[in-house]
Amino acid sequence: MNRIKTDICIIGGGSGGLSIAAGAVQMGAKVVLLEGHKMGGDCLNYGCVPSKALIASAKKAYAMSHGGELGVADAKAKVDYAAAKDHVANVIATIEPHDSVERFEGLGVKVIEEFGRFISKTEVQAGDTIIEARRFVVSTGSAPFVPPIPGLENVTYYTNENIFDLREQPKHLIVIGGGPIGLEMAQAHARLGSKVTVIEGMKALGKDDPELAAIALYNLRAEGIEIVEEAQAEKISGDGKTITVHTPKGDFSGSHLLMAVGRKVNIDKLDLDKGGIAHDRRGLKVGPNLRSVTNKRVYAAGDVAGGLQFTHVAGYHAGVLIRSILFGLPSKQRTDHIPWATYIDPEMAHVGLTEVDARKKYGGNVEVVRFNYDGNDRAIAERKSTGLIKVMVVKGRPVGASIVGHLAGELIGMWAMAIANNMKMSAIANTVLPYPTISEVNKRAAGAYFSPKLFESDRVKSIVGFVQRRLP
């Protein structure tokens, strides 16, 4: 058995773990990184990267058959599903070297390609190596949650971990789960030529603003995607060629089945109890500083920290932990400025408080300003005028923003910056943007906040009248 002593031992080579490893080793710390599966984690191999690559293929196919209103004759796209998957694989391969063992070993990180598990409060074992570290960071991410639906074990089903390996195009894809992953894959497959049915036990896009979700779902249904809500899957059956999902709202049959009902954190292999690390089904129990409440040597980053499950959150956690672990500075996470996006078309994005949460927290002190995409000249020019932005404002400062529409995932960045830096609405309103751009949606929303104060105020009108009467 080999033994290693190090400053930091990181368990998990996903976004959070790799960011900490790269930062720490380049600042002089000794770092050991343990990864028993694929470097880059879920995001690179099964999540963000492959899904957006497949969505890009689907957008191209859709654009070919929807150019009529722009003066371009519609043409039926000839889709090569296997070639689209080759594109996905190529995108992963292009990004892969940045997350590779070779790159990190080149930086000076000791990479051990084995799963790590705690054997004491101060030691982790990976294969035939025991690592003793001053600090441990658990960043093992999450995996698809597959509920125990009767009959599921008797049929072939896919999750985001193997759907991108599928080379045969589904004739009729059944998706269980109407959240972001399920709907992104549903629309991508529908645009590539598959018939798609989405079955959701509650409300589709149930975590998003209901008004914005309704716009998104209307458009998905308009593309021919069947979305059945409040239809809990009770049983699944199959005959080798057809898979049937039985629900209170009827039976739905298709050729392929995708399970997309949620995520579960990867902690089963860690032997956390042996490390004296408190945990529950959501992950490690940590404080605002991401430090274990029961073992002060241990920190969590990303999904296993028990909060928001996004790649960019894991990267953000890395910055929080680098400040505290390397420099001994007090450093805590916050969540009010964390944005997220759903890459359906039109896109959805959000940061801060929703309208419902803002009204609960601030009551009558919250103002909700709105601007429709059909008032944006660039959106009109590109026939992308379906959309809405809502900004929740308290005492002149945005506390939340929700967007559905073209490039929503890009537009939300301005509001994330404003909330992160406690900026006022005037900072957005004073920003000069190039015309015509979709980004003017943000400026017009800020303008919608100030317009009533300027144009509907008797006081402002009286001041202007007074000044005008006295001007030479």
**pLDDT, tens digit, for every residue of 23-49?**
999 999 999 999 999 999 999 999 999
Asked if pLDDT for residue 458 goes beyond 80, the answer is no
Same domain, 182 and 246: yes
Number of domains in the chain: 3
pLDDT at position 455: 61
Same domain, 375 and 285: no
Give the up-direction half-sphere exposure of residue 370: CA atoms within 13 A in the CB hemisphere: 9
In-domain check, residue 76: no
pLDDT band at 454 (very low <50, low <70, confident <90, very high): low
- Give CA–CA dist 284/291, Å, rounded: 9
Asked if pLDDT for residue 466 goes beyond 90, the answer is no
Are residues 439 and 414 in contact, defined by beta-carbon separation less than 8 angstroms? yes
Q: Is 80 part of any known ligand binding site?
A: no
Per-residue model confidence as pLDDT tens digits over 390-414: 999 999 999 999 999 999 999 999 9
Asked if pLDDT for residue 468 goes beyond 70, the answer is yes
- Percent of the chain's residues with pLDDT above 70: 98
Same domain, 408 and 444: yes
pLDDT band at 457 (very low <50, low <70, confident <90, very high): low
In-domain check, residue 84: no
pLDDT at position 179: 97
Asked if pLDDT for residue 218 goes beyond 90, the answer is yes
Q: Is 424 part of any known ligand binding site?
A: no
Q: Is 116 part of any known ligand binding site?
A: yes
Quote the domain boundaries for residue 368: 339-455
State the Cα angle at 406 between 404 and 410, rounded to 5°.
Answer: 85
Q: Is 206 part of any known ligand binding site?
A: no
Same domain, 197 and 237: yes
pLDDT at position 456: 65
In-domain check, residue 247: yes
Q: Is 184 part of any known ligand binding site?
A: yes
pLDDT at position 123: 98
Q: What are the residues whose beta carbons fall under 8 Å from the beta carbon of 401, sequence distance 6 or more?
A: 350, 351, 352, 389, 390, 391, 392, 412, 415, 419, 445
210: domain CATH number is 3.50.50.60
Pairing of strands 256-259, 263-265: unpaired
pLDDT at position 178: 98
Token reading at 261: 């009902």
Q: Is 285 part of any known ligand binding site?
A: no
The residue ranking higher by pLDDT, 347 or 464, is 347
Same domain, 277 and 356: no
Asked if pLDDT for residue 93 goes beyond 80, the answer is yes
Per-residue model confidence as pLDDT tens digits over 366-383: 999 999 999 999 999 999
The region that residue 238 occupies, defined by phi over 0 for left and psi between -120 and 50 for alpha, beta otherwise, is beta
Query: Of 327, 354, 375, which residue constitutes the final position of a domain?
Result: 327
Q: Is 200 part of any known ligand binding site?
A: yes
Same domain, 318 and 381: no
Q: Is 319 part of any known ligand binding site?
A: no
Pairing of strands 279-280, 263-265: unpaired
In-domain check, residue 301: yes
pLDDT at position 165: 96
Query: Of 327, 357, 382, which residue constitutes the final position of a domain?
Result: 327
Q: What are the residues whose beta carbons fall under 8 Å from the beta carbon of 263, sequence distance 6 or more?
A: 142, 143, 144, 145, 303, 309
Asked if pLDDT for residue 176 goes beyond 70, the answer is yes
pLDDT at position 97: 95
Token reading at 313: 């959150």
Are residues 178 and 213 in contact, defined by beta-carbon separation less than 8 angstroms? no
Instruction: Name residue 280's beta-bridge partners.
Output: 283
Same domain, 176 and 258: yes
Q: Is 100 part of any known ligand binding site?
A: no
Same domain, 246 and 200: yes
pLDDT at position 37: 93
Q: Is 405 part of any known ligand binding site?
A: no
Asked if pLDDT for residue 85 goes beyond 90, the answer is yes
Same domain, 297 and 350: no
Per-residue model confidence as pLDDT tens digits over 110-150: 999 999 999 999 999 999 999 999 999 999 999 999 999 99
Q: Is 170 part of any known ligand binding site?
A: no
Residue closest to 196 by CA, chosen among 237, 154, 163, 150: 163
Q: Is 141 part of any known ligand binding site?
A: yes
Please state the rounded mean pLDDT for residues 277-303. 97
Q: What are the residues whose beta carbons fall under 8 Å from the beta carbon of 400, sequence distance 6 or more?
A: 350, 351, 352, 353, 354, 355, 357, 358, 391, 392, 419
Residue 102 exposed, middle or buried by CB count within 10 Å (0-12, 13-18, 19+): exposed
Average pLDDT, the chain: 95
Please state the rounded mean pLDDT for residues 1-5. 93
Are residues 228 and 399 in contact, defined by beta-carbon separation less than 8 angstroms? no
Q: Is 67 part of any known ligand binding site?
A: no
Residue closest to 378 by CA, chosen among 434, 436, 442, 441: 436
> At residue 156, what is the residue type?
T
Q: Is 179 part of any known ligand binding site?
A: yes
The pTM is what? 0.94
Please state the rounded mean pLDDT for residues 422-443. 97
- What's the chain look like in SS3? CEEEEEEEEEECCCHHHHHHHHHHHHCCCCEEEECCCCCCHHHHHCCHHHHHHHHHHHHHHHHHCCCHHHCCCCCCCCCCHHHHHHHHHHHHHHHHHHHCHHHHHHHCCEEECCCEEECCCCEEEECCEEEEEEEEEECCCEEECCCCCCCHHHCCCECCCCHHHCCCCCCEEEEECCCHHHHHHHHHHHHCCCEEEEECCCCCCCCCCHHHHHHHHHHHHHCCCEEECCCCCCEEEECCCCEEEEECCEEEEECEEEECCCEEECCCCCCCCCCCCCEECCEECECCCCEECCCCCEEECHHHHCCCCCHHHHHHHHHHHHHHHHHCCCCCCCCCCCEEEECCCCEEEEEECCHHHHHHHHHHHEEEEEEEHHHCHHHHHCCCCCCEEEEEEECCEEEEEEEEECCHHHHHHHHHHHHHCCCCHHHHHCCCCCCCCCCHHHHHHHHHHHHHHHHCCHHHHHHHHHHHHHCC
In-domain check, residue 186: yes
